[in-house]
Every structure is written in structure tokens, then in C-alpha cells.
């Protein structure tokens, strides 16, 4: 096992509580969450992590209050445009993983443009799981097997792995969840089979270099 995880997956939890503690609207926590993600990308690149995958919007997040969902969508659309130049400068290749149908034209277009603009970068791969669920991923892979007319004996772990939405990346070595909950919440169900888990009370907007280093130290000691 290498000392530095090649792939880190993160459930960025605690934005809402960060905001509530300050009597701010939840969207203020999500905005700080974008800042935390920017710091995290930078630190992971500096520490030699090759792939970072974050859970930005789950299939279940559509059930949140309508104003929070639309606030999040506006934030994503804005961040997609605003963050790309710095990601370019830092050699980050962006991938969006999840169900694209049902997204607004603005968000879908922003995603396409951001992926295109960063496609030839190679320092760090940043996977943003958006309108994503681990079960969704398994179902879409199974549907492909059916639509390609495979026989049952042709569908095995190797075939499914190759048809998961993140088949281009290695499985995560380290799975981090911030915000104190100790659940997987339908994130990377297939890919985290052998991951090391690191749970922290730290709320996502407060997650910075010191917290990333604590997770990396814990991983190196396992
Ligand atoms: C969970 O906190 C966080 C989210 C549902 C949104 C995460 C999104 C970001 C950090 C922004 C990422 C930005 C881009 C451009 C990809 P919560 O609201 O569930 O917090 P709570 O558990 O305290 O209520």
C-alpha cells in the first residue's frame, strides 16, 4: 500500500449546519463549501493524490426544499464558469459523474464546457458526482448488459467494473466523510469495497489543509 492514497473519495457533509450555527441561510454554507473544495483540490494536488472524487449532489438531494435546490443549481452553474481558469492553471481534469438527463440546460452546458476545457490536463483528476447515487451507477451498468444482450455468464465483476461510471479511475483507497455522520449514504457503493474509511466531526466548510493531512496520516498508519 502506498503511503499517499492514489484516489480519495469525499462525502462533503455539514454545509447546512455550518450555516445554521451562524444564523445564516443554508446556501451560505454551500458557498463556503465551494471554497473548501477549492482548498482541498489544491492540497490533494500538492500531496501527490492522483484522483479526487466528491459527492456534490445526490439523486436524493432533489427532495430538499425547492429554494435550496435552485440555490445549489445556481451555485454550481456559477462555480463551473468561475473555477475553470484556476483548475486549468493547476492541471486539473474535471469529470462529472451521474445522470445528466433532468439537469437544466445551463448546468448541463456548464458541465460540458468545463469537461472539454480541462480534458487534456493530467496532474489531478477531479470527479464531481452530481445527480449521482451508487445504486444508480450499478443499475445503469446492469441496463447496459441487458441492452447489449449479454448472457448471464458473461456478466461478472470485471465486466461490471468496466461499465461503472468511473471505470476510467482506480477504486478509492481512502473514503472520507465530514460532518460527523458515519454513513456511506449511497456513495461509491461498488468502488469502496476495499477503501479505508475516515470519519471526522469537522463540518465541510471548515475542512482544510490540517484536516486533509490528518486523514492522510491516519491512512498511512493503517
Ligand atoms: C452536504 O451538506 C452538502 C451538499 C448537499 C452540497 C455539497 C456541495 C458543495 C460543497 C459545493 C460543491 C461545488 C461544486 C461546484 C461542485 P448538507 O447541506 O447536507 O449539510 P448538513 O448535513 O449540515 O445539513
- Give the model confidence (pLDDT) of 70-87 as tens digits: 999 999 999 999 999 999
Query: Do the Cβ atoms of 203 and 18 come closer than 8 Å?
Result: yes
Q: How far apart are alpha carbons 9 and 146 in whole angstroms?
A: 29
Contacts of residue 199, Cβ cutoff 8 Å, sequence gap at least 6: 176, 177, 180, 181, 182
**Euclidean distance between CA atoms 26 and 73, whole angstroms:** 13
Which residue from 175, 168, 178, 181 is spatially nearest to 193, judged by alpha carbons?
175
- Confidence band, pLDDT 50/70/90 cuts, at residue 181: very high
Rounded mean pLDDT of the chain?
96
Burial class (CB in 10 A: 0-12, 13-18, 19+), 189: middle
CA distance 12 to 203: 8
Residue 33 has pLDDT above 90, yes or no: yes
Give the distance (Å) from ligand 1 centre to CA of residue 15: 5
Positive or negative CA dihedral for 26, 31, 35, 40? Answer: positive
What's the CA angle centered on 190, arms 195 and 111, to 5 degrees?
A: 100
* pLDDT-above-90 percentage for the chain: 97
Query: Residue 186, exposed/middle/buried by CB under 10 A (0-12, 13-18, 19+)?
Result: middle
What pLDDT, on a 0 to 100 scale, did the predictor assign at position 102?
87
Average pLDDT over residues 193-207: 98
Confirm whether 127 is a catalytic residue. Answer: no
- Contact 169/146 with Cβ under 8 angstroms? no
Q: How confident is the model at residue 1 (pLDDT cuts 50, 70, 90)?
A: low
Residues 6 or more apart from 213 whose CB is under 8 A from it? 43, 47
Q: For residue 14, which phi and psi values (nearest 5 degrees)?
A: 115, 5
CB 185 within 8 A of CB 56: no
Nearest ligand 1 atom to the CA of 83 is: 15
Mutate to test the pocket of ligand 1, among 9, 13, 52, 106 (most ligand atoms within 8 A of CB): 13
Please give the distance, rounded to the nearest whole angstrom, from the Cα atom of residue 56 to the centre of ligand 1. 6
What is the spatial distance between Cα 217 and Cα 174, in angstroms, rounded to a whole number?
11
Residues with CB under 6 A from ligand 1: 12-17, 30, 33-34, 37, 56, 61, 76, 79, 128, 179, 204
What cell numbers appear for 212 in the block? 486533509
Average pLDDT value for residue range 19-28: 97
121 is catalytic: no
Amino acid at each position: 500500500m502506498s503511503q499517499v492514497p492514489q484516489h480519495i473519495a469525499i462525502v462533503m457533509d455539514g454545509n447546512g449546519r455550518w450555516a445554521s450555527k451562524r444564523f445564516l441561510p443554508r446556501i451560505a454554507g454551500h458557498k463556503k463549501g465551494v471554497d473548501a473544495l477549492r482548498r482541498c483540490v489544491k492540497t490533494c494536488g500538492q500531496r501527490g493524490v492522483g484522483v479526487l472524487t466528491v459527492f456534490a449532489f445526490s439523486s436524493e438531494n432533489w427532495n430538499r426544499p425547492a429554494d435550496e435546490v435552485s440555490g445549489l443549481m445556481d451555485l454550481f452553474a456559477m462555480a463551473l464558469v468561475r473555477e475553470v481558469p484556476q483548475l486549468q492553471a493547476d492541471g486539473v481534469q474535471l469529470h462529472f459523474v451521474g445522470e445528466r438527463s433532468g439537469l437544466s440546460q445551463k448546468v448541463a452546458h456548464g458541465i460540458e464546457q468545463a469537461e472539454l476545457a480541462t480534458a487534456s490536463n493530467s496532474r489531478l483528476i477531479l470527479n464531481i458526482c452530481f445527480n449521482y447515487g451508487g445504486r444508480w451507477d450499478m443499475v445503469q451498468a446492469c441496463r447496459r448488459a441487458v441492452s447489449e444482450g449479454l448472457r448471464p455468464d458473461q456478466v461478472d465483476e470485471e465486466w461490471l467494473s468496466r461499465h461503472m461510471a468511473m471505470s476510467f479511475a482506480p477504486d478509492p483507497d481512502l473514503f472520507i466523510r465530514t460532518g460527523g455522520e458515519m454513513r456511506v449514504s449511497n456513495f461509491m457503493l461498488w468502488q469502496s469495497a476495499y477503501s479505508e474509511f475516515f470519519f471526522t466531526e469537522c463540518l465541510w466548510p471548515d475542512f482544510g489543509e490540517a484536516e486533509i493531512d490528518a486523514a492522510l496520516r491516519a491512512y498511512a498508519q493503517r
